[in-house]
Amino acid sequence: MPEDEEDIFSDERENIERPMSRLLGKYAKRYPAPVGVALTANLISPLLGLAPAWLLALAIDGLFTESTPYSLPLVPTAMLPETTAGKMLLTVSLFVSVYALTTVTTWLGSWGWAVFAENVQHDLRTDVYDKMQGLGMEFFSDRQTGELMSVLSSDVNRLEGFLNGWLGQLLNILVQVIGISAIMLATNWQLALVALLPAPLLTVVSYLFVQKVRPMYREARGTFGDLASRLENNLSGIQVVKSFTNETFESSRVEGASQEHKDARWGARRWGIRFGPMLTLINGIGFSLVFLVGGWWVLFGPPLSVFSGSVTVGTVVMFLQYTRQIQGPLTQAGQLLNNFERVKASAERVFVLFDYPVSIPEADEADELEDPRGAVEFDDVSFSYPDGEEALTDVSFDVDPGQTIGLVGPTGSGKSTCMKLLLRFYDVTEGAVEVDGQDVRDVTIRSLRSSIGYVSQEPFLFTGTIRENIAYGLDVTDSEIESVAERANAHGFITDLEDGYETEVGQRGDRLSGGQRQRIAIARVLLRDPEILILDEATSHVDNETEVLIQQSLDELTADRTTFSIAHRLSTVRDADRILVLDDGQIVERGPHDELLDRGGLYANLWRVQVGEVSSLPEEFLEEAAARDRA
């Protein structure tokens, strides 16, 4: 498949500039101490790592071949031991000291980066989650849960690996390469040019490699999101899979998604496998050249007329050591470039979320909705969804505090959309929605939604206990929890359970029946005591006996509250103070139940459907219903 079909963030990622520098700029300043320690250690440690080869050359030339006097920079000759044995012991002590200091600085560097990485990973995950929570509902309606989960898990984890080692390794490589090059050039610039001859070739090969694998890793990242979404959907719908005996069908779909991810990853890995050996070959050729030119120089003099002067055995050994020593950093640089492209793709996806515009902004001067009474007004409200679909047109109504309003109409008529505008999940295109005379756009989102309780037809319970689900986010006593459970007709069945209020509800509450979940959801809303209540088909998916119990709970819940009841089962709204009948985004009828029946309009026809009087329905209504179904 094309990359755009695999990665829902592919288009947005093209607009993300310098994601890695943004990442460091955003978080490094939060942890200056560990970053400072790590940077200092990563400067000192590789420099210390250059000393052993230099000391070895010093020992060979000054002690074994005695081709040059034994000396140490910045150390007066008078302070050096006079005997050969003393010089030998001094050299050994310098070796031990260098390795000891290298151990300490390496540990400090690892500690600093580890502390930094762990803290940034934590901050990054919570910051991304907080940003996602603040995004509008249209963002979530267009994206699969598995894709978003892959950002919070896989992408953030991959960035942790980058922060925990990549920066330190990169600095280590730069210091080693620059340090080795400087020492070799200062010692014998002619032989140094031979030793550094492979460097341009390595640079070209590395550049070509990066250009080749960059799109491959982007595609691999996208296919992983598709695979994660497939797995999440299948596991969430496992009951449907089993009931349709479609295990084999779903296994084949998972296998297909996994194969696509495998193929995308293998395309990049194949080039990565070639890259490492290619670097080794190039460095091996460089080592051989240094041995040939340096050895020939020692044995027979300058190998070519362009070379001049002499070279000692110690110098050749030092150059061979540095040639081998530089191979590791350069090979490691290739691997870092390889990994960099992978983590860069993850960083781009993270910053797509950070940069995603907030569709429901809160004004800086927004007021708190204090002591709400529950008065609601829709004033000439029109609304179209982001995709251009018009959902409401010129909708107007007002509700006094404590009134119950029924919202009925065919599927897609705009009932739920009205309530989404009241909750400010979306903002109106035209007109205004007001609560207690205040436009909902002029009050804080938190205070608005805190004054509204919502009970859906499929209540969502979080993994945890019944007690935790009722208390959800509130610091309340056990007696308060049990009190609202009794009022919600839930206390009886809860105490009959083996673990009572400590019963684990399972994922999405699947260990409880639909009616039990519904009453727990009602108790959860009762505990918050909102002034405005939205009931969205609250009894549509339960049997008649359970409906009676839930209806008793709802009677307790709706008492003295402004209530909006969305209903297909019209019996649940027949006692409402007023019923609003919507069709195609407009209010076509309004009034109490009996009055609407007498009018003989859309509501009366919907009622006939409910009570089984299908034969008395007008032909026009049946034709419109068929047209809506086809649409």
- Give one DSSP letter per residue of 517-585, joined into a string: HHHHHHHHHHHH--SEEEEESTTTTS-HHHHHHHHHHHHHHHTTSEEEEE-SSGGGTTTSSEEEEEETT
CA distance 107 to 41: 8
Record the pTM.
Answer: 0.68
Strand order in the sheet with 532-536: 452-455, 532-536, 562-566, 404-408, 578-583, 586-591
6 pLDDT band, cuts 50/70/90, is: very low
CA–CA distances in Å: residue 283 to residues 176, 287, 289, 321, 397: 15, 6, 10, 12, 79
pLDDT at 412 over 80: yes
4 pLDDT band, cuts 50/70/90, is: very low
pLDDT at 2 over 50: no
Q: Which pLDDT score, from 0 to 100, does residue 218 have?
A: 72
Report the SS3 class of residue 471: helix
Q: What are residue 600's phi and psi, to 5 degrees?
A: 70, 25
Q: Which pLDDT score, from 0 to 100, does residue 335 have?
A: 65
88 pLDDT band, cuts 50/70/90, is: very high
CA distance 191 to 171: 26
- Give the number of C-alpha atoms closer than 13 A to the C-alpha of residue 629, restricted to the C-beta side: 6
Q: Chain-centre distance of CA 33, in angstroms?
A: 27
pLDDT at 428 over 90: yes
pLDDT at 198 over 90: no
CA distance 346 to 352: 10
Tokens of 101: 């200091």
Tokens 């009951």 found at: 239
Q: Which of 210, 199, 207, 202 is nearest to 271 (CA)?
A: 210
Task: Report the share of the chain in percent with pLDDT over 90.
Answer: 30
Least confident of 1-10, 74-83, 273-282: 1-10
Express each pLDDT in 311-327 by its tens digit: 999 999 999 999 888 77
Express each pLDDT in 337-389 by its tens digit: 667 777 888 888 888 888 887 778 888 888 898 888 999 999 999 999 877 78
Q: How far apart are the first and last CA of the chain?
A: 30
> In the predicted model, what is the mean pLDDT of residues 284-293?
89
Contact predicate 267/233, CB 8 Å: no
Composition of the chain by helix, strand, coil, percent to 5: 65, 10, 25
Mean pLDDT across the chain: 84
Contact predicate 619/446, CB 8 Å: no
Q: Which pLDDT score, from 0 to 100, does residue 546 have?
A: 66
Contact predicate 434/398, CB 8 Å: no
Express each pLDDT in 116-167 by its tens digit: 988 988 888 888 888 888 877 777 776 667 677 778 877 888 887 778 777 7
Express each pLDDT in 528-541 by its tens digit: 889 999 988 766 65
Least confident of 55-64, 102-111, 217-226: 217-226
Question: Residue 105: what residue type?
Answer: T
Q: Which pLDDT score, from 0 to 100, does residue 441 have?
A: 92
Report the SS3 class of residue 428: coil
Tokens of 199: 């460097």
